Amino acid sequence: MAHPSVALTAKIEELDKISKKPLPIAQRKGVSFPKYFTQKLEPGKTPYDEVVWEMRTAAIGNDKGAIIFEQNDVEVPADWSQTATNIVVSKYFHGKMASPERERSVRQLVHRVVDTIADWGKSGHYFKSSEDAENFRNELAHLMLTQKACFNSPVWFNVGVSEARGYGFYYDEVADKIVKLKKGESRPQCSACFINSVKDSLESILDLAKTEGMLFKWGSGTGTNLSPLREENAGLAGGGCASGPLSFMKGFDAFAGVIKSGGKTRRAAKMVILNVDHPDIESFIWCKAKEEKKAHTLIEAGYDQ
């Protein structure tokens, strides 16, 4: 009897041999997409017509009771909670406050994202027919409006907006290779999390700081294993001693707090890993507790958070 791991490896290799690259758009037949949640939708109606809408004020205050965000007369589904209203309006409505471009309804927000994704599917020949594409559009809108499902933050931030949003690289289907995103090119950043690597050089460390900052800008979080960095006080080729991964962590953490996620109110999500066999692992384990103790001491002394 074959060992399970050997059999699995052989199966993976077999699948790799028969795997196909994505078909060119012109050759795609598309898939059928039948109605499920919207089966009872009357002809000529959309999921937006089935929602009971009401006007509200969205407001968020700080720990001192001061209002830090407020938008009046926003249209939301009546069965949404006030908390959901506050979060969606403050974080995901597009456009500058008090400008004509500012979104004022969840209807606009969902249309912007859902219609863009559905149109991508149509242009990419993902659907067998126009009816299938419209079924997909309505089903997705229903899921969003009824809160049966929800996209991550970068999708709400970036999909369907007029300006270019995103940073890094993407797969060029025509050229069949990974290419760098050009400035002004419209390929919105939709992933919530990115894992980035780093090498034991100052250039690589600073490149990581830039990459993370740009990913934070468009609403994503990042994670990095800093184990490749030499330990604190290790010798440097040019003389002197290394700062160590914990020192650079402070800088990365500061950028996450300053840039925030999508430029909104919440600080960006930042994950750091250090392998258990790294010389600085003990300091790494205790660093967060020490920083929190330091913060509490400053707050008790009257310093602002």
Q: Which of 150, 172, 202 is the last residue of a domain?
A: 150
pLDDT by residue (tens digit) across 8-50?
A: 777 666 666 555 667 778 888 999 999 999 999 999 999 999 9
The mean pLDDT value for 76-105 works out to 95
Q: Tell whether 138 and 239 lie within a shared domain.
A: no
Query: In angstroms, rounded to a whole number, what is the distance separating the alpha carbons of residues 114 and 133?
Result: 11
Residue found under tokens 């300053």: 258
Q: Tell whether 118 and 213 lie within a shared domain.
A: no
Residue 63 has what pLDDT? 78
Domain residue limits at 266? 193-300
Nearest to 95 by CA among 76, 112, 83: 112
Q: Tell whether 121 and 235 lie within a shared domain.
A: no
Q: Tell whether 43 and 126 lie within a shared domain.
A: yes
The three-class DSSP label of residue 237 is: coil
Expressed in angstroms, the distance from the first to the final Cα of the chain is 63
Q: Tell whether 214 and 135 lie within a shared domain.
A: no
Note whether residue 237 is domain-resident.
yes
The mean pLDDT value for 155-168 works out to 87
Residue 304 has pLDDT above 80, yes or no: no
Nearest to 88 by CA among 115, 75, 191, 220: 75
Residue 262 has what pLDDT? 66
Q: Tell whether 138 and 59 lie within a shared domain.
A: yes
Residue 277 has what pLDDT? 96
- Report the domain count for the chain: 2
Q: Which of 88, 121, 150 is the last residue of a domain?
A: 150
Note whether residue 40 is domain-resident.
yes
Residue 17 has what pLDDT? 58
Mean pLDDT (the chain, rounded):
89
The three-class DSSP label of residue 147 is: coil
The mean pLDDT value for 150-177 works out to 87
The neighbour count for residue 14, using CB atoms within 10 Å, is: 10
221-225 β-sheet, strand order? 193-196, 221-225, 270-273
pLDDT band at 3 (very low <50, low <70, confident <90, very high): low
Q: Tell whether 137 and 64 lie within a shared domain.
A: yes
pLDDT band at 248 (very low <50, low <70, confident <90, very high): very high
pLDDT band at 164 (very low <50, low <70, confident <90, very high): confident
